[in-house]
Amino acid sequence: MKDKNSRPVNILLIEDEKINQKVAQSLLKSRGWRIITALDGQEGIEKFNQEDFDVILVDIHMPKLNGFQVTNRIRRIERHQGRYTPIIGMSASDIPKDKEKFVGVEMDSYILKPLRAEELYQTIETLLSKYKRPLCPIDIEAVLANLEGDKDLLKELIEDFIEEEYSILLLKEIEEAINQKDYNKLYKKAHKLKGAAACLQIQGIYEIAYKLEQCGKALSNEGIVEIFEALKKEYQITKDALENYRWED
């Protein structure tokens, strides 16, 4: 079994409703996280037994085994194995009424459906930080496959992406273009960043760069300051994760 620092965040999603599954998968994958989906509680327990996960998301109201029962069984397994995995309950009902149930089954947190992106990310990242899980924004294995396994090249590309040319100078040029309302420059610089992020499959930065690129293309500054602030925050998260990434020998 691989060291947890040698791969992206690994999340087990236990959700029986198809649309909710797709929404959750889309939101989670946009952070570069690896998602394994189980369609019911029993399948979720089986997949939990097959590999390590950094976080488990479980729907509360499922037939056969509900989210509380699934959590109880996982905790019993963990006590025998000496491990612990943060579990987040998901529910469309009034969670405060069930608060004692969540605590009683040792869930770490809970969120309401429909899922809201920022709440979902913050809840997961808080638990990852608490339990010192990695926040790697890149699926290293997937990128390596595109580079025909050339690990040295990947390391070089990552170093380029987090060093001054991109993480400082390019962001500064984007900010200047925004302040000067130079939409042509904004488009070109955002396009450059988007291309680099695409090469490394850094989805979070790619999506934000795409939004800025579209602002430049449309000669629009609507929400542009907020988008750029999100870019700076996302870049810092990415830079911190990649600087501390542990490579396998």
Domain 4-130, CATH homologous superfamily name and number: Response regulator (3.40.50.2300)
Look up residue 127 and give its DSSP letter. Answer: H
User: Do 9 and 133 touch, CB atoms closer than 8 A?
Assistant: yes
Domain boundaries, the chain: 4-130, 140-243
The more confident residue out of 146 and 142 is 146
Q: At residue 85, does pLDDT exceed 50? A: yes
Task: Determine the topology of domain 140-243 in CATH.
Answer: Four Helix Bundle (Hemerythrin (Met), subunit A) (1.20.120)
Same fold, 4-130 and 140-243: no
Per-residue pLDDT band at 178 (split at 50, 70, 90): very high
Q: Is the pTM of this model over 0.95?
A: no
Q: What is the mean pLDDT of residues 98-126?
A: 82
For the four alpha carbons of 127, 128, 129 and 130, in that order, the dihedral sign comes to: positive
What pLDDT score does 78 carry? 86
The number of helices, as runs of H, and strands, as runs of E, in the chain is: 12, 5
Higher pLDDT, 11 or 104: 11
- Cα–Cα distance measured from residue 55 to residue 9, given in angstroms and rounded to the nearest whole number: 8
In this predicted model, what pLDDT tens digit does every residue of 185-225 receive, in sequence order? 999 999 999 999 999 988 888 889 999 999 999 999 988 99
Lowest model confidence (mean pLDDT) among 86-95, 146-155, 161-170: 86-95
58 closest CA partner among 11, 117, 121, 127: 11
In the chain, what is the greatest distance between 2 CA atoms, to the nearest angstrom?
61
Cα gap 149→218, rounded to integer Å:
39
